[in-house]
Structure 1
Amino acid sequence: MKGKPSLFGGACIIASVCVGAGMLGLPSAGAGAWTTWSVIAISLTMAVMTISGWMLLEAFKHYDLKVSFDTVTKDMLGDNVNRINNLAVYFVGGILLYAYVTSSGIILEGMFNINSKIASVLFVLLFSGFVWHSTRAVDRISVVLIVFMVLSFVFGVSGLALNVDTSILFDTMNKETSYAPYAMAMLPVALTSFGYHHSVSSMRAYYGEERRAKYAILGGTVIALSLYLIWLVAIYGNLSRNEFGPVIAQGGNVDVLLATLGSVIASEEVKSAINTFSMAAILSSFIGVGLGLFDFLADFFKFEDTKEGRAKTWAATFLPPLILSILFPFGFVIAIGYAGAAATVWTCIIPALLVRKARQREDNDKGFKAPGGNAMIGLVMVFGIFTALFHIMSMLGMLPVFTG
């Protein structure tokens, strides 16, 4: 008889979905807002994203454990809303996989002197196998990767932490005081950094109930937030605000960030630990995001849970991002920003609408309920709408853009 899945394993899956985008995107995205406002932005986002995930759990509780967004949204909100949501879910999952595949190729090229496109293909063929196999396999590899990341993170960041300069960390040498406006443009990347919602159905099916899934989600977002805060303090305490200019000019590409960071680190061992950590962060998020998108597409296309059915789902999940990565590689943070704007649909707006509809049912009082009542539904929806607006305004040049 199989034992119950551990809460730590589930929390690691949720954390692993988040950390790739967050760890590698937040430092560049938050360079304008700098330390204090970046911390405020990501802490607020974590709270909202955790509650919106719980809202999905409440809405899903009326359905079979195997369902995902497609079935529930179509039933509760109708075909038109469901089409918009499906498009947003697939776009965000696809663009995140695309960003991870592209970045992994670039980093592996530097580490092993192998062509980046060949490295990307090998990366996908090797590591997407865990997703094809089962959620249990993803649980196991996620725990290994999180532990591996923590070890390389502790070793790498401890080297950075020893050199943290508070005058750099709080930008006291700079006379500029307008940090807050830059935090608005940072929110879409912060939202993507907690965009685990396509994995909510996977967690519910994994545990067979909402209550344990709720704690796995909370554990995962707390792990992610803790890593983000330590990482930002370590980087912002070593790299001055102006040194982010070249990184931002290159679209926030991970290799440029790592090279810039490497230029201020004296120890080769610390440099290697930071590079290893970054690769593990990309890999864990690739597998975590891949699992969520895999389950979503299996539900959408009604592919069977057989070897042949899972092979079809694998192809629909991983081949389009891989092909696009080979043909059209571009900036990491740019891709994450687009993902964040589209993700507001299914991380904020749809969960709020679904739970509002679910609470109109007579039998909704039984079982799991997300906290905060109707006021929280309004707050989650407003947060999502404003985050999407900030991204559009930033693209149109209506928000201040930090260039270093």
Structure 2
Amino acid sequence: MTTMATKKPSLVGGACIIASVCVGAGMLGLPSAGAGSWTLWSILAIVLTMAVMTVSGWLLLEAFKHYDLNVSFNTVTSDLLGEKVNAFNNLTVYFVGGILLYAYTTSFGLILQGSLGLESKTASIIFVFLASSVVWHSTRAVDRISVVLICIMLFSFIFGVFGLTVHVDFSKLTDAVNQNGEYAKYAMALLPIALTSFGYHHSVASMRSYYGEERKAKYAILGGTSIALFLYVIWLVSIFGHLSRDSFGPVIAQDGNVDVLLSALGTVVSSEKVSQAINVFSVSAILSSFIGVGLGVFDYIADLFHFDNRNKSGRTKTWAVTFMPPLVLSLLFPFGFILAIGYAGAAATVWTCIIPALLVLKSRQREGSEKGFLVKGGKIVPYFVLGFGVATAIFHFLTMVDVLPVFRG
């Protein structure tokens, strides 16, 4: 009797998983956040962020190599850095999830207000109850809806964004009307938003388990972040090639809210079908990110409070703790999209840069650490990743208090 060999997971499949985790509503904030630095410096900023975030994922792989394939980020952090550090790390994970749900709720409410004529707060309430019901129902429901939304995002991105790209105005792309413009000094403000666009680190343990080794997981991570980088560059070129730098003033004045960006874009795009495709992509990206992030926070809350998610009562408790605080905050304090994403990026530096670097530095003190998967570069690499994370968080708060230059349009 012939036994069929088990088919090994492909690198393409793993790369697509990482890319799908990265690419979501966060990319909608990149143009507004990068309006000051404009095309060249914005691209340089996201290339640097992509490189650091890729390496920080590799650092996690190195720290995980001493553990079973089914180990979690939570377990490794607790073992290597202690319960207090792990508790703080988990708190930042929850904060990032909560602030993202808050940002998506506010933005989607404003989009529905413009398209359906509803009052934004009413629209936000309707959105949260409908979208969160998918998470409440089951993980399988999230899986099925996510596949549909990703397909819609893919086709609308191809038709809409590439429709913009082929008609790019190079004078706008290079900001030709502003020959003496300053750009580099505004790039620092983009880093926290760029960082959230490469936040796949909670999936590193899954990738390692998926391939059964660190080396293939390393290349899958590189492939995924490279795909995300390519899509982000195309997105920025498409937007900056149609909207002048000065036209971002009204968008920034509204804290980079997505509905304002889409309205501004709609006034300069000649093709109504392309404009509609961009709108469909934006709506799908926010909805997909909302239920994806919502599921992660939902499972985290259930584990934290020991709610029984096997029955309706337990799931309802988890649903209330997960989705009601962001909704209430959105109704009471409807801050802008970029402002919220910036806070998420500042907090995310903890578990995307700082903790991975500390884990590797601690892991390398153990006997036998020189064996198996290693990230090249010695101590310079983890210290650079650590420094990048700390600097990105500092840049965000200095921007908030106007110590660093802020582009107003």
Match of 1:171 in 2: 175
Q: Please, which of 29, 39, 46 is the counterpart of residue 42 of structure 1?
A: 46
Structure-2 change in CA distance of 1:371 and 1:276 (3 Å)? farther
Match of 2:225 in 1: 221
Partner of 2:175, secondary structure, is: coil
Contact conserved, 1:9 with 1:140, CA < 8 A, in 2? no
Q: Does 1:392 align with 2:386?
A: no
With 330-339 and 158-167 compared, the bigger mean Cα shift is at 158-167
Q: Does 1:95 align with 2:99?
A: yes
Matching of residues 21-60 of structure 1 within 5 Å: 21-60=25-64
Structure-2 change in CA distance of 1:223 and 1:266 (3 Å)? same
Give 1:105's aligned amino acid.
G
Structure-2 change in CA distance of 1:197 and 1:130 (3 Å)? farther
Match of 2:271 in 1: 267
Larger Rg: 2
Q: Structure 1: how far apart are the matches of 2:111 and 2:19?
A: 22
Question: What do residues 177-215 of structure 1 show as CA deviations (whole Å, max 9, x unaligned)?
Answer: 421110011111111111222333454566665455444
Q: Structure 1: how far apart are the matches of 2:117 and 2:102?
A: 21
Match of 1:322 in 2: 327
Structure-2 change in CA distance of 1:299 and 1:66 (3 Å)? farther
Contact conserved, 1:70 with 1:296, CA < 8 A, in 2? no
Structure-2 change in CA distance of 1:176 and 1:307 (3 Å)? farther
Q: Structure 2: how far apart are the matches of 1:21 and 1:365?
A: 39
Structure-2 change in CA distance of 1:211 and 1:197 (3 Å)? same
Q: Please, which of 280, 284, 299 is the counterpart of residue 276 of structure 1?
A: 280
Structure-2 change in CA distance of 1:306 and 1:58 (3 Å)? farther
**Percent of aligned pairs with the same amino acid:** 70
Question: What do residues 120-178 of structure 1 show as CA deviations (whole Å, max 9, x unaligned)?
Answer: 34433444455556766655544443332121112112332233111110112202242
Structure-2 change in CA distance of 1:61 and 1:50 (3 Å)? same
Give 1:174's aligned amino acid.
N
Gaps of 5+ in 1: none
Q: Please, which of 358, 362, 371 is the counterpart of residue 363 of structure 2?
A: 358
Gaps of 5+ in 2: 1-5
Structure-2 change in CA distance of 1:213 and 1:87 (3 Å)? same
The count of residues paired between Structure 1 and Structure 2 equals 404
Superposition deviation, residue 59 in structure 1 = 2.4
Q: Structure 1: how far apart are the matches of 2:137 and 2:13?
A: 17
TM-score by length of 2: 0.87
Match of 2:384 in 1: 379
Contact conserved, 2:25 with 2:282, CA < 8 A, in 1? no
Give 1:51's aligned amino acid.
V
Matching of residues 19-168 of structure 1 within 5 Å: 19-63=23-67, 68-128=72-132, 131=135, 141-168=145-172
Match of 1:246 in 2: 250
Give 2:388's aligned amino acid.
F
Q: Structure 1: how far apart are the matches of 2:190 and 2:376?
A: 27
Q: Structure 2: how far apart are the matches of 1:63 and 1:107?
A: 46
Q: Structure 1: how far apart are the matches of 2:77 and 2:361?
A: 12
Superposition deviation, residue 13 in structure 1 = 4.5
Q: Structure 2: how far apart are the matches of 1:178 and 1:219?
A: 33
Match of 2:3 in 1: none
Match of 2:192 in 1: 188
Q: Structure 2: how far apart are the matches of 1:253 and 1:58?
A: 39
Structure-2 change in CA distance of 1:345 and 1:274 (3 Å)? same
Match of 2:345 in 1: 340
How well do the aligned residues superpose, as a CA RMSD in angstroms? Answer: 3.0
Match of 2:201 in 1: 197
